Copies of this chain bind each other. A is one copy, B any other.
Amino acid sequence: MHARQDPPADTAARLAALRAELAGRGLAGFVVPRADEHQGEFVPPRAERLAWLTGFTGSAGLAIVLADRAAIFVDGRYTLQLRAQADPNQFLFRHITDEPPDRWLAETLKPGEKLGFDPWLHTVDGAAKLAAACAKAGAVLEPCADNPLDAVWPEQPAPPLAPVAPHPLAHAGKSAQDKRKELAAELTEAKADVAVLTLPDSIAWLLNIRGGDVAHTPLALGFALLYAGGQVDLFMDPRKLDAEVTAHLGNEVMVDDPADFGPALDALGQAGKTVRLDPATAAAAIEARLAAAGAQVQRGADPCALPKACKNETELDGARAAHRRDGAALTRFLAWLAQEAPKGKLSELEAADRLAAFRGEDAELRDLSFDTIAGAGPNGAIVHYRVDAASNRRLEPGSLFLIDSGAQYPDGTTDVTRTIAVGAPTAEMRDRFTRVLKGHIALATARFPKGTTGSQLDTLARRPLWEAGLDYDHGTGHGVGSYLGVHEGPQRISKLPSKVALKPGMICSNEPGYYKAGAYGIRIENLVAVRPADGMAEAEKEMYAFETLTLAPIDRALVDTEIMTADEIAWLDAYHARVRETIGPLVDEETRNWLEDATAALA
């Protein structure tokens, strides 16, 4: 689980120390993103600079510290949390999309000022945006060779050193050698000599290794260079690699000290190499160093991103197996919840702990894939709610309980949300739940031609809500890794434009929702895999469909069949029959009996 940062007692002192450091360097200010060198969702403790400085522990945000003012920018998920954790006397609180940092910088900086930033913590694209904002004010964005915040953070933790293990072929389905060869051929075709890999999940996928440097995702932090000949230089602390994993990596993978990464970039430049770099994910420092050394930087997508997203048959079989075990644990939890919740004593924390305990009985469990969201009543309406002792609510009769959770197994990553009626739901709750379900079914049953993007499908999930003037303010689906990140690209199902077509093997979440502030939240989330569509003899196009991977009952007490079509009812009944037949044999008799009822046909 993710270590929580306590709100700092001495924000003012830390801020003063940072400002003194900046003044000594001739900087008018400094940007503190919630980011590490790899732009990961989960970062190691030493990269929790934003939390150390401000107290704010959300998974996304940015502070800008100037001599006379400082501001923290967060998105809508985190406005309440920011107010609870950070000091309004020290920081201005800003909404990151309504009042974006670049606009604030353009209005606040003075001509001639220098704004410092750590080029290892910002992507090429991100740094370019900041630089443009500074330029608007006549100021300059200046990279700092070493991070001034680190200079005033005496107890900053050391980098993590979790051991790295091979990800066996039985789970990976393709050898690292084959992956390297295939990507090498692509680089050759694209006339690139080498690609810089900065995302630890790309490296983990490419080399079939897994680590433990951050919470919830089995990453080994490091950088790599993939050459057009198929060789790899892996810049990773050798203390993380034992003899077994070194043997697994093989002769074509050289392990180098992380300190040698910069000089290796210089060498590429001096040799005039053409170097592929993803400007959306790679640190600005890398491009700057390459360019300064004379390399030809070829901006383009991380070559691992797309093949990693398209799971092979072994990975899909692994995902199915992981979902069977995970579904059994969740079903046991739901049966237990059906017993306990009506008593009116259960809390969110107890429920989340019990679900984790059911999952923990599986020896294959490696970690939860994220902090469980367990929202009772109005807490369910907070989309990224995270229960703690202060917010912990009782599950009360007449309320809804939303529980969004997932796990990491060596054969797959899960992510599932169920919304449960505690006692008798209102007609409005049933109407809203059923609209969310109709949207979920519309997406689950979609058939679409090759080339279709997730953006094109997003509306299918929203339409039943739109018909009642309702909507939800989050995406409908994110990519999911194979014993890797619970959020991964490049595909997504979202109203935001995407140019990435859905391809067979991609795993996505299907998670429409509805949130009534102060009252309740609803979300129904299954993972789905893109597959060739069956039984379309007359099809003129190559057609794809989704296979639903997640197996757990959907609360029938919340389903209003009056507003469902016959096809929708048939889908739910068939899904429930599959859950019953697959999960029934994997659970105890008491759970199985409950499951019989919970999955009984509506029609």
**Bound form: Cα–Cα A455–B459 in Å:** 9
B447 touches A466 (CB 8 A): yes
CB proximity to B under 8 Å, residues A418-477: 446-449, 452-453, 455-460, 463, 466-471
Known: A456-B458, A457-B459, A459-B460. A543 touches B469 (CB 8 A): yes
Counting CB contacts under 8 A, is A498 at the interface?
A: yes
Segment touching B, from A166-174, A283-291, A400-408, A532-540: A532-540
CB distance from A106 to the nearest CB of B (A): 12
A455 and B536 in contact, given A446-B466, A470-B541, A541-B470 (Cβ under 8 angstroms) = no
> A445 CA to B443 CA in the complex, in Å?
19
A248 in contact (CB, < 8 A) = no
| Interface assignment of A495: CB less than 8 Å from any CB of chain B | yes
- Say whether A497 faces chain B, with CB atoms less than 8 Å apart: yes
A69 located at the interface, meaning its Cβ lies under 8 Å from any Cβ of chain B in the complex: no
A538 contacts across to B, CB distance below 8 A:
468-469
Chain copies in complex: 2
Q: How far is the CA of A459 from the CA of B498 in the complex (A)?
A: 14
Q: Does A345 contact B (CB under 8 A)?
A: no
Distance, CA A449 to CA B463, complexed state (A): 10
Residues of B within 8 A of A459 (CB): 456-457, 459-460
Interface flag for A103 (CB, 8 Å): no
Collect the chain B residues with CB atoms within 8 Å of residue A446's CB: 463, 466
* A window 125-150: CB within 8 A of B: none
A68 to B543, CA, bound (A): 44
**Does A499 interact with chain B (Cβ within 8 Å)?**
yes
Contact at A533–B469, with CB atoms within 8 Å? yes
CA distance A499 to B467 in the complex (A): 23
CB distance from A267 to the nearest CB of B (A): 26
CB pair A541–B497 under 8 Å, yes or no, is no
Cβ contacts under 8 Å, A498 to chain B: 497
Q: How far is the CA of A445 from the CA of B121 in the complex (A)?
A: 47
For A458, list chain B residues within 8 Å (CB): 456
In Å, the complex CA distance between A533 and B471 comes to: 15
- Contact check, A469 vs B540: say whether CB atoms are below 8 A apart: yes
Q: Which residue of B lies closest to A499 (CB)?
A: B497
If A456-B458, A457-B459, A458-B456 touch, whether A468 touches B539 (CB-CB below 8 Å) is yes
User: Given the complex of chains A and B, what is the CA–CA distance between A488 and B497 in angstroms?
Assistant: 21
Q: Do the beta carbons of A469 and B456 come within 8 Å of each other?
A: no
Please report the C-alpha to C-alpha distance between residue A447 and residue B538 in the assembled complex, in whole angstroms: 32
Q: How far is the CB of A584 from chain B (nearest CB, A)?
A: 32
A437 → chain B closest CB, angstroms? 18
A471 touches B541 (CB 8 A): yes
A388 to chain B, nearest CB (A): 29
Which of A459, A470, A498 has the most chain B CB atoms inside 10 A of its CB? A459
Q: Mark A480-516, 1 if CB is under 8 A from B, else 0.
A: 0000000000000001011100000000000000000
The contact string, 1 if C-beta is below 8 Å from chain B, for chain A 535-556, is 0101111010000000000000
Are B449 and A466 in contact, with the CB atoms below 8 A? yes
Residues of B close to A449: CB separation below 8 A: 466, 469, 471
Q: Considering the complex, give the chain B residue whose CB is closest to the CB of A496.
A: B497
Please report which residues of chain A, range 102-136, place their CB below 8 angstroms from some CB of chain B when the two chains form the complex. Answer: none
Which residues on the B side are within 8 Å of A540 (C-beta)? 469-471
Q: Which residues of the partner chain B approach A565 to less than 8 Å between Cβ atoms?
A: 565
Q: Which residues of B have CB within 8 Å of A539?
A: 468-470
A448-B447 Cα distance, complex, nearest whole Å: 22
How close is A490's CB to chain B, nearest CB, in angstroms? Answer: 14
Nearest B residue (CB) for A457: B459
Q: Within the assembled complex, what's the spacing in Å between the Cα atoms of A96 and B463?
A: 36
Contacts of A468 in B (CB 8 A): 536, 538-539
Which residues on the B side are within 8 Å of A453 (C-beta)? 495
Report the nearest B residue to A451, measured CB to CB. Answer: B495
Bound complex: CA A457 to CA B536 (Å): 25
In the complex, are the beta carbons of B447 and A469 less than 8 A apart? yes
**Chain B residue contacts of A497, Cβ below 8 A:** 455, 497-499
Asked if B460 and A463 sit within 8 Å, CB to CB, the answer is: yes
A437 to B193, CA, bound (A): 53
Judging by beta carbons under 8 Å apart, are B469 and A536 in contact? Answer: yes
Within the complex, the shortest CB–CB distance from A469 to chain B, in Å, comes to 2
Provide the residues of chain B in CB contact with A469, threshold 8 Å.
Answer: 447, 449, 533, 536, 538-541, 543
Question: CA A467 – CA B543 in complex, angstroms?
Answer: 9
Question: Mask for A235-274, Cβ within 8 A of B = 1, else 0?
Answer: 0000000000000000000000000000000000000000
A470 contacts across to B, CB distance below 8 A: 539-541
Q: List 26 A-B contacts (CB under 8 A).
A: A446-B466, A447-B466, A447-B469, A448-B466, A449-B466, A449-B471, A452-B495, A453-B495, A455-B455, A455-B456, A456-B458, A456-B459, A459-B460, A460-B463, A468-B536, A468-B539, A469-B536, A469-B539, A469-B540, A469-B541, A469-B543, A470-B539, A470-B540, A470-B541, A471-B540, A497-B498
Given contacts A449-B469, A460-B463, A468-B539, 19 further A-B contacts (CB under 8 A): A446-B463, A447-B467, A447-B469, A449-B466, A452-B495, A453-B495, A455-B455, A455-B456, A455-B497, A466-B543, A468-B536, A469-B533, A469-B539, A469-B541, A469-B543, A470-B539, A471-B540, A471-B541, A497-B497
Closest 3 pairs between A and B when the two form their complex, measured CB to CB = A469-B539, A497-B497, A469-B536
